[in-house]
Chains A and B, each alone.
Chain A
Amino acid sequence: MLKDWFSGKNEEETKDEKNELSKEEDQGTGGFFGRLKEGLTKTKKGITDRVDDLVKSYTKIDEDLFEELEEILISADIGVNTTMEVIDDLRERVKENKVTDPGEIKGLLKAILIEVLEEIAEPQLNIGTKPSLIMVVGVNGVGKTTSIGKIAHHLKKEGKNVLLAAGDTFRAGAIDQLKIWGDRSEIDVIAHAEGSDSAAVIYDAIHAAKSRKMDVLICDTAGRLHNKKNLMNELGKVFKIVNREWEGLAMESLLVVDATTGQNAIQQAKVFKEVTKISGLVLTKLDGTAKGGIVIALSRELKIPVKLIGVGEKIDDLQPFDPKAFVDALFDDGK
């Protein structure tokens, strides 16, 4: 029933587009993409089945159909505003192309969503200089430390020299958690004691990365709610130091967003973007039943590209984000 969209010819086609992160995993049908598919299958079922059922129950395209499509998008956390815009767009295209068959409507809807994501797509991590820096930020509990463990593992497997900085000096156990991830991939972790100054740890790590001639430094930061002024100011201070010390070198500032999150993610992204100049998103926990539709709203409203997605708890469960694959997986009809 479900189309294996990474098998056969499809795989050959998509292979070239893949981020360097995934090169090794790209080989087999299992492993990396197997897990993505597994993860997204659950995501997929929701929207696909419902669109199919819906389309079958209509013999012509009318307002009721649009309204129900609206509901389906909203139920994927795409959000009211973005949904309205997308549906308006769809309505126009139906008119322009003189579409009368309800069966064609899904293709049009898919195309619109892919466009939204592709317009700003930027799958490559900007880690071109030696050393390069990846800052990881986000609200509490989204999976920052876990994502860092996975990213570090991939870069290491690519042969890069990676260094980690335990910048979350606040949460109990956070430093140990990062150290365990470091041990798993045999990567050094620069850490101070719990409760110490986060900026100081990161400052030390920056100098360590430079003097040890590392390829990539990845810095963890404490989870913080974006509406906490003082915590955001503190993060601003960290970034001030980072920007000064890292001038002229490649840097990524990744915001980690939990796929389970609703509309609040927009506010999160807005505020974090102001303070840290977010260059990309990591969308985590896509292996649940949450659909992660919020990234469509984030792409459309804030123009922040999704770079990576988390599809499981294992160290390999991290994927480069591919807009077409993402939307295809949501809508794949097995043809």
Chain B
Amino acid sequence: MIFEGLSEKLQNTFSKLKGKGKLNEKDVNAAMREVKMALLEADVNFKIVKDFINRVKERSIGDEVLESLTPGQHVIKIVRDELTRLMGETQSKIEFGSKPPTVIMMAGLQGAGKTTTCGKLALHLKKQGKRPLMVACDIYRPAAINQLETVGKGVDVPVFSMGDKEKPVNIAKAALEHARKNGNDVMIIDTAGRLHIDTDLMDELRQIDRELNPNEKLLVVDSMTGQDAVNVAKEFNESLEITGVILTKLDGDTRGGAALSIRGVTNKPIKFVGMGEKLDELEAFHPDRMASRILGMGDMLSLIEKAEASIDQKKAKELQEKMRTQQFTFEDFLEQLEQIKNMGSIGDMLNMIPGMGGKQMKNLQVDEKELVYIEAIIQSMTPDERVNPSIINGSRRKRIAAGSGTTVQRVNKLIKQFEQTRKMMKQFGNMDKLKKKGKMNMPFFG
């Protein structure tokens, strides 16, 4: 609920954007200001934000607005698409070498979660049938080796260590021998956390890199990182030419803009995300989810997606015409119900609409069963009755109630609501206005 404020702000911006057709510069600029704020609040580096906004602006102005969306939503759709594209693909694969053992080196700042991630990755590989070995090369942090050993026990993966007196590069070299002898086809090297500007320690990593030529060099980054993420990622990438990124602590509530910053400066794939303290909580990275999360209005985006996919444009237009001329019938309503059902549960939909999620809606429970009743009642009507509800008299009502397994009261209620709605629809004139009121052609609920 932290981001409710933002979603509301965006909703307000959207409601100001009126008119259909092509997006004009004014619409775009208004929306971009909010997007810029959203990205900055999400900790995306301000330079990356600037570039990004310019790109989206260029793409948006003059773009045809999709029928099912408001101009504001359409801008957000472009933002989301662009963000997802920038985030890369789902690529949670480790590149294995042609000759075992495959060497994976972990690197990152202090406290990013390297040691825990080593264990998670080892477990992940073990589940794939590999025989991993973990190598304790963090000789600086007190008890780091103990930690890796405990983690190793937790996932039942052997740990190679030589204490904290030997140089990390020598430990890594000895581990390689050990792995070969013992049939370990993957070795994961845990390294000490270090600052990207610490030249001595960065040299140490380069040494390991030179001597062992790892197949994967993974930068482990805390997803809560702020503006500095660009500096960290840039330096590590320049020193080591990393092959990928693992984003940790994503089970927190950070918006995780660092992900975009890191992609922006390294263009390396984000391979995995850490989703919890347990050792099996390593997940594949999903660019679309991350894009939504950074924008802080993910649910609204899924709503746009669903609306795009489910609403048949032509039918919607016909319906709009019918509403205007008060020719809307039970037949049309049934069709609409089908479409709504395709979009998922009503409760879900309501929650997805920014400003409607959270407190205000908590007490409002939409009874999904109600939908089933309505459907049954309409299906028990004759085609004539559906088109012309005024002919439904007392005995017809009894028949419909019996046919649908409901009561006459329920049938009465539906017909009454239907008549009221028809009148209301005429007053509103067109669907857009209804949509903006958040009523979404669903006057029967609530």
Contacts and interface: CB of A to CB of B under 8 A. Distances in A.
A261 B254 CA distance: 10
Interface string A154-187: 0000000000000000111111110111000000
Contact of B226 (A139, A225, A260): A260
A42 interface: yes
Contact of B150 (A173, A264, A265, A291): A173
Contacts of A152: none
A141 B113 contact: yes
A180 B254 contact: no
Contacts of B229: 262
B146 A176 contact: yes
A142 B111 contact: yes
A103 interface: no
A320 B115 CA distance: 31
A149 to B, nearest CB: 8
A141 B112 contact: yes
A141 B110 contact: yes
Interface in B113-129: 113, 115
B143 interface: yes
B222 A141 contact: yes
Nearest to B195: A288
B374 to A, nearest CB: 38
A79 B2 contact: no
B37 A80 contact: yes
B141 interface: yes
Interface residues of B, number: 49
Interface string A212-241: 000000000000011110000000000000
Q: Which residue, of A77, A79, A261, has the highest number of chain B Cβ atoms within 10 A?
A: A261
Nearest to B38: A80
A258 B226 CA distance: 10
A313 B232 CA distance: 18
Contacts of B135: none
Interface in A40-97: 42, 71, 74-77, 79-80
Contacts of B197: 42, 288-289
A262 B254 contact: yes
Contacts of B253: 225-227, 264, 267
Q: Which residue, of A76, A173, A290, has the highest number of chain B Cβ atoms within 10 A?
A: A173
Interface of A: 42, 71, 74-77, 79-80, 139-143, 149, 170-177, 179-181, 194, 225-228, 258, 260-265, 267, 285, 287-291, 294, 313
Q: 8 nearest interchain CB pairs?
A: A262-B226, A173-B147, A141-B111, A262-B43, A172-B150, A180-B142, A176-B143, A177-B143
9 contacts: A71-B46, A74-B227, A140-B277, A175-B143, A179-B143, A260-B225, A263-B226, A264-B254, A267-B2
